[in-house]
Chains A and B, each alone.
Chain A
Amino acid sequence: MQTVTLIPGDGIGPEISAAVVKIFDAAKAPIRWEERNVTAIKGPGGRWTIPPDAKESMDLSKIGLKGPLKTPIAAGHPSMNLLLRKTFDLYANVRPCVSIEGYRTPYTDVDLVTIRENTEGEYSGIEHVIVDGVVQSIKLITENASRRIAEYAFEYARNNQRSSVTAVHKANIMRMSDGLFLRKCREVAENYKDVKFTEMYLDTVCLNVSVAGLGSDRLVLTAGLGSDHRVHGTAPDIAGMDLANPTALLLSAVMMLRHMGLHGHAARIQTACFDTIREKKVLTKDLGGSSKCSEFTAEICRRVQDLD
């Protein structure tokens, strides 16, 4: 039995987290969930922190599953997601983007993974008002963080049999900062001759993705401009109405199972999920169906139990 810290989050967060817990239960996954809430607390000295019980839980379990967290624009405190990343030094944001069989989109055969540096870059959160009406935001790039994320990307590529790593940058404009990032990527690439390394401008990537969809590559992004953000939204307009699609959170939880070495459970839950989508009988509204979240969840639970 392993403990995992569960942070349901805001908006549709609680309902999709509940769906995941139910499915894991049906699959008899050996997980004990420890539910914690995260809000911004102003500590002594004016520093913003997360609640101590949440931090304690994560420090012990070392693994967390989180739903979407909302950051109101004039909140006065930094983004909750940013706070979590800084607190636990979650330096690599990994997002596999794969076309799901049975759900048609304009882009077919997509199979790429974006790996995004998660602690610095444009999201450093350092801003100043120089004079009234002039604001400066600082984008920070360090040697250590760049090397670390490049190593993560190449290790991931090697461990998951991916053919190439592409560094995405804007070094023609941000000569020193993205230049440093690129140099570190090139240095790390020297130690991974079995993985192909290429570099591409951010604009070219955007252009190619919308024209053709990129093939089976891996991307390393500088922090700031991530790509597929299906997992982000709190979707307040459908919260509490049993309409949300728990797939994204479920597949993230499957990634978590693989990370924990529970490949059998991971495979069963993933198969159950993909089969449900492929059959097209029980689909949530965003996938073109008319079923409720609870019905979709129940269907996956049924399939998982059948696969046992």
Chain B
Amino acid sequence: MAAHSAVLSVSKIINPLWGRHLKGKTVKVFGTTLAIHRNKASHAGDNIPLPAKYGGRHTVTLIPGDGIGPELLSHVKEVFRYSCVPVDFEVVHVNSAMEAEDDINNAITAIRRNGVALKGNIETKHTMPPSVKSRNNLLRTSLDLYANVMHCQSLPGVQTRHKNIDILIVRENTEGEYSSLEHESASGVVECLKIITRTNSLRIAEYAFQLAREKGRRRVTAVHKANIMKLGDGLFLQCCREVASGYPDITFDSMIVDNTTMQLVSKPQQFDVMVMPNLYGNVVSNVCAGLVGGPGLVPGANYGRDYAVFETATRNTGKSIAGKNIANPTAMLLASCMMLDHLKLYDHATPIRNAVFTTMNETRLHTADLGGQGTTSEVVQSIMRVIQSKGQLTSEM
């Protein structure tokens, strides 16, 4: 695979014509700059690859990941097969113990090919040297999946301390504190660079306001720490304000991240749509997931201009509960429904989503994380029974 990619990159230099046809397929060699080159070429009017659909069936990349990922995704496959969903999965394994980046590059190529992916979380082992970057992060930055979207909604069947929460979180997904640019400038002194750019800040703000308008939301709140990081978060805030001026129908305000987290745990109902840089997004999305019932419930989506990758919102590997049949399949199933919506297979997404909610809210069959005693398989069986009872076309159990 390495030799293959070397040939591709060399031929891209010596024969630009040939390189352009392969523009979507060239393996990452120059790191983040390649993403910029790809964008430049695309802006010049080249065709964006069509989604992988042949004979009415879609092909979607599936990355099982570690921990509970593989079992949850096999349940997704089970439910899809049962509901006759016209999706075929191309499974790509990524070995988190390997130092070489071949595995993750294969996965990235597969996603470029198919346009859409469903993934479990890939573990980042601390025992490896710091040059081995987080695989999940590499995937997000290589594919330029700039917007991480999470919808936190209170579910009637789940016992929580706070009720009536309905927050859309839009998190910048490629830069900020996750730039993975670190160096030891002197012995015992490490610098980690947080990068904020006007381009990406404008882009994510634009995404947030478009989404707010589309979903009929009234208010967008930018979360920042511009009193301390005056230039960095200051730039982010300024970009948000610029974009806000183009959406006079939507109220825009801002809040410092410390106050935000405090408000979230005392009065979360005040928030509508929130937009923020990467690390605050991590903090806020985890607090919100906790408020509506935990990591087992909330699906997340990563959108770029050309690709979309779906996963659980809080990106946990769940190593301690792996293989025990106690993990909550809700988040992954709802993520797969988001994926079906993205593929415009609404007639398949809706029954599955409704079945998940029925099991959650009416049957109240809950896994251990919600205080119940159901196993993962019991919950999945219940969901499939609900799908069948609604008269949908299903294959045998």
Contact = CB atoms under 8 A, between A and B. Distances in A.
Instruction: Decide whether A and B are members of one complex.
Output: yes
A207 interface: yes
Contacts of A203: 282-283, 285-286, 314-316
Contact of A176 (B182, B264, B285, B287): B182
A138 B130 contact: no
B258 interface: yes
B290 A207 contact: yes
B196 A135 contact: yes
A123 B264 CA distance: 23
A172 B279 CA distance: 13
A188 to B, nearest CB: 15
Given A173-B134, A173-B178, A229 B235 contact: no
A180 B188 CA distance: 8
Interface residues of B, number: 63
Interface in B201-236: 225-235
A226 interface: yes
Interface string A199-212: 00011101111110
Nearest to B186: A142
Contacts of A174: 177, 182, 192
Contact of A143 (B188, B233, B265, B314): B188
B163 to A, nearest CB: 11
Contact of A128 (B189, B228, B231): B231
Interface string B277-316: 0010011011111110111000000000000000000111
A228 B231 contact: no
Q: Taking chain B's interface residues, is the majority helix, strand, or loop, or is none over half, making it mixed?
A: mixed
A38 B226 CA distance: 21
A173 B180 contact: yes
A191 to B, nearest CB: 19
A215 B89 CA distance: 43
A107 interface: yes
Given A135-B231, A173-B180, A208-B290, A229 B259 contact: yes
A216 interface: no
Given A129-B231, A135-B235, A176-B192, 12 more contacts: A105-B266, A122-B225, A122-B229, A125-B228, A135-B195, A172-B134, A175-B133, A175-B134, A203-B286, A203-B316, A207-B295, A233-B259
Interface of B: 124, 126, 130, 132-134, 137, 161-162, 177-178, 180, 182-184, 188-199, 225-235, 237, 257-259, 261-262, 264-266, 279, 282-283, 285-291, 293-295, 314-316
The 3 tightest CB contacts between A and B, nearest first, are: A210-B290, A143-B188, A133-B198
